[in-house]
Amino acid sequence: MIRIGIMGYGNLGRGIECAIRQNPDMELRAVFTRRDPGTVKILTEGVPVYRAEEAAEKKDEIDVLILCGGSATDLPKQTAEFASCFHVVDSFDTHAKIPEHFERVDKAAKGNGKVAVISTGWDPGMFSLNRLYASAVLPEGADYTFWGKGVSQGHSDAIRRIEGVVDARQYTIPVEEALEAVRSGAEPELSTRQKHTRECFVVAKEGADLMRIETEIKTMPNYFADYDTTVRFISAEELARDHSGIPHGGFVIRSGRTGWNKENHHIIEYSLKLDSNPEFTSSVIVAYARAAYRLGVEGAKGCKTVFDIAPAYLSAKSGEELRATML
Amino acid sequence: MIRIGIMGYGNLGRGIECAIRQNPDMELRAVFTRRDPGTVKILTEGVPVYRAEEAAEKKDEIDVLILCGGSATDLPKQTAEFASCFHVVDSFDTHAKIPEHFERVDKAAKGNGKVAVISTGWDPGMFSLNRLYASAVLPEGADYTFWGKGVSQGHSDAIRRIEGVVDARQYTIPVEEALEAVRSGAEPELSTRQKHTRECFVVAKEGADLMRIETEIKTMPNYFADYDTTVRFISAEELARDHSGIPHGGFVIRSGRTGWNKENHHIIEYSLKLDSNPEFTSSVIVAYARAAYRLGVEGAKGCKTVFDIAPAYLSAKSGEELRATML
């Protein structure tokens, strides 16, 4: 049994808890929280909830600690810190800062004989894998990543910070014509605006200036100004009824050419359609927790990404079983 | 430079030759053939063509020998044989016999300190990878593999063996309704007939009994009897004009559930749309030739499949570059 600890019990932590239940070779041993543990009610019976500060004391009871904090402030500190006591897995997703995160975590993990798998999930994660495999197989071609249709937490939060907004939900939507152009093999150059649209459902305070709110959203730099954005005002009841899920997904497409004169075209497409973004992310993380544990048993140490881990480590099946049933 | 040799110069061998040209860290050093080398004209200038029997003598000039023979009789013998002299890569695709092929090749490769990568290509190969990743991430769910639309060489050959047939081309076509049912998350149980149809273009001898040919095709056990099959008689000119390509492709779909009560559905879909089956297969093989070489440099030995090789080994980019650009 692989003994798992969860650091942080929000949407992602709960997703990890659910995923562990689907993997019979794993058991949840503890949840750690920055809240008062007495106020945190988890789903699994009989599993203790501790204060985050107590984690290091439990290092002999846990094989892999899964870090469920955010990429902005939690993980840059936590992953390296806990890699001194545990094999760890995180879903650090600030793409531009992955190289420095890797270096920091690698040093800590190597120094303590632990395996740390960073930036798992689906992007970075499964999407990254597909970008790598596809470009290695078709070195001449173009890569396209589309996200959605799905809820962007960051964009929803940005709308909520606008004066007069009570709540909001933002969907990122890939443009169907752009997808079709890519699938045709035409290798189009696509602007930000051509790839995705943004759809916002906003609950406004009574009497708020809706025109101003809409303008503030549509002109917000980085978040909305470069996109065709739709804003719809709805009631709190409608938001709760129609937009309470956290779906997401997307597409990674490689369009490439082979042949002596590059006369043949090929399209490799990978897509995800997810009812729950945090639960799917959790499912990927848990598979990499298995890999971290097994690599650790073999004596590996240091920081790894999805690129560095042979696929067989993710599966509970043996090499013989995999060759007989899945190859 | 990774020095590559090609054993067997048919469609696949020519595809390997083209793929090497797209990978600047590789060079073609020799082609080996069972034909008279004087009759084999290859595309790359200045590269020698030798008799197959001469391969072992060239072992110091070649790092990785790519085996382009067939799975029925060539590879079961060749892969183990040449793994005593070279790192080797094959595309052995008789799924049911992979375990015994693995054992045989593993013994030969281990005994001689070589790396042998077997069963690369797209199925087995990229499709297998996607089956493994998807089932590891979503342990509760169902897997579906669809092939096509594409030319099946085996089925085309089976038609050509019928009395009165001059030439034929058979397309395997996935049933769109079945694909949609799978994508809906319904996890349908699908019979052979429900998943694929078969379309045959046949050139018959003048005066041949077309009704008999059509009946012989449609009732042929294993090949056609379990499928809805369409037979169209066309002229040799039409066959050459409209059906000279070797396209293929297909879909690997995992439909799975997560959540404490399995309340959320997820669909992972991987698809290929290939203008040239042998050229795409070759492109995958060549990426795994790079992996075989690098693993060999690190001191690895024995038989490997796509499951055993970390993705980073396939790419010409360094770990740093991959993390900075693709993760």
Which residue on chain A is closest to B91 by alpha carbon? Answer: A327
| Cα–Cα distances in angstroms (integers) from residue A214 to residues A164, A200, A221, B43, B307, in the given order | 11, 9, 14, 62, 50
Name residue, tokens 């978040």: A223
CA B40 centroid distance within chain: 24
Q: Which residue has the tokens 């790359």?
A: B44
CB A6 within 8 A of CB A48: no
Q: Are strands A115-117 and A49-51 parallel, antiparallel or unpaired?
A: unpaired
- Count contacts between A and B (CB, < 8 Å): 215
Q: Do B326 and A284 touch (CB under 8 A)?
A: no
Q: How far is A19 from chain B (nearest CA, A)?
A: 7
- Give residue B193's pLDDT: 95
The verdict on a CB contact (< 8 Å) between B260 and A124 is no
Considering only the C-alpha atoms of chain B, give the largest distance between any 2 of them, rounded to a whole number of Å: 68
- Reported ipTM exceeds the 0.90 cut: yes
Residue B188's SS3 state is coil
> How near does any CA of chain A get to the CA of B236, in Å?
24
Q: Is B311 close to A132, i.e. CB distance below 8 A?
A: yes
Cα–Cα nearest to A306, from B121, B252, B304, B319: B319
User: What DSSP character marks residue B205?
Assistant: P
Contact A311/B282, CB-based, under 8 Å? no
Q: Write down the pLDDT at residue A151.
A: 96
Q: Which chain B residues are within 8 Å of A17, Cβ to Cβ?
A: 260
Provide the edge-to-edge strand list for the sheet that holds A26-33.
Answer: A49-51, A26-33, A2-7, A64-67, A87-89, A115-117, A302-304
What distance in Å separates residue A239's CA from the closest CA in chain B? 19
Rounded Cα distance between A10 and A30, Å, is 15
Identify which of B43, B7, B74, B191 has the alpha carbon closest to the alpha carbon of residue A260. Answer: B43
- What is the tens place of the pLDDT at every residue in A10-33? 999 999 999 999 999 999 999 999
Residue A50 pLDDT class (50, 70, 90 cuts): very high
Q: What is the pLDDT of residues A268-287, one digit of tens each?
A: 999 999 999 999 999 999 99
Angle (CA) A60 A10 A83, round 5°:
35
- Please judge whether A266 and B284 are an interchain contact, meaning their C-beta atoms are less than 8 angstroms apart: no
Indicate yes or no: CB of A311 within 8 angstroms of CB of B98. no
Find chain A residues with C-beta within 8 A of B270's C-beta: 130, 268-271
Which of B135, B307, B316 shows the shortest C-beta gap to A310? B307
Distance from C-alpha of B226 to C-alpha of B298, rounded to nearest angstrom: 48
pLDDT at A277: 97
Per-position pLDDT tens, chain B of length 327: 999 999 999 999 999 999 999 999 999 999 999 999 999 999 999 999 999 999 999 999 999 999 999 999 999 999 999 999 999 999 999 999 999 999 999 999 999 999 999 999 999 999 999 999 999 999 999 999 999 999 998 999 999 999 999 999 999 999 999 999 999 999 999 999 999 999 999 999 999 999 999 999 999 999 999 999 999 999 999 999 999 999 999 999 999 999 999 999 999 999 999 999 999 999 999 999 999 999 999 999 999 999 999 999 999 999 999 999 999
Report the gap between the CA of A26 and the closest CA in chain B (Å).
13
pLDDT of residue B20: 98
Give the per-residue pLDDT at B198. 97
Å between A209 CA and nearest CA of chain B: 38
Do B99 and A324 touch, CB atoms closer than 8 A?
A: yes
Cβ distance B320 to A99 less than 8 Å, yes or no, reads yes
Residue A314, pLDDT score: 98
Chain A residues whose beta carbon lies within 8 Å of the beta carbon of residue B106: none
* Residue A323 banded pLDDT, cuts 50, 70, 90: very high
pLDDT, mean over chain B: 97
**Which one of B279, B307, B322 makes the best mutation probe of the A interface by having the most chain A beta carbons within 10 Å?**
B307
Among B126, B316, B319, the residue with its CB nearest the CB of A133 is B126
The amino acid present at A51, given as its one-letter code, is: R
Q: Which of A124, A284, A326 sits opposite B131 (nearest CB)?
A: A326
Are B316 and A272 within 8 A, CB to CB? Answer: no
Helix extents (H) in chain B: 11-21, 75-82, 98-111, 126-137, 153-160, 176-183, 192-195, 210-218, 236-242, 277-297, 319-325
For B118-164, the pLDDT digits (tens) are: 999 999 999 999 999 999 999 999 999 999 999 998 999 999 999 99
Q: Which residues is B264 bridged to in the sheet? A: B258
Which residues are bridge partners to A64 per DSSP? A4, A87
- Check CB contact under 8 Å for A276 and B260: no
Q: Do A98 and B279 touch (CB under 8 A)?
A: no
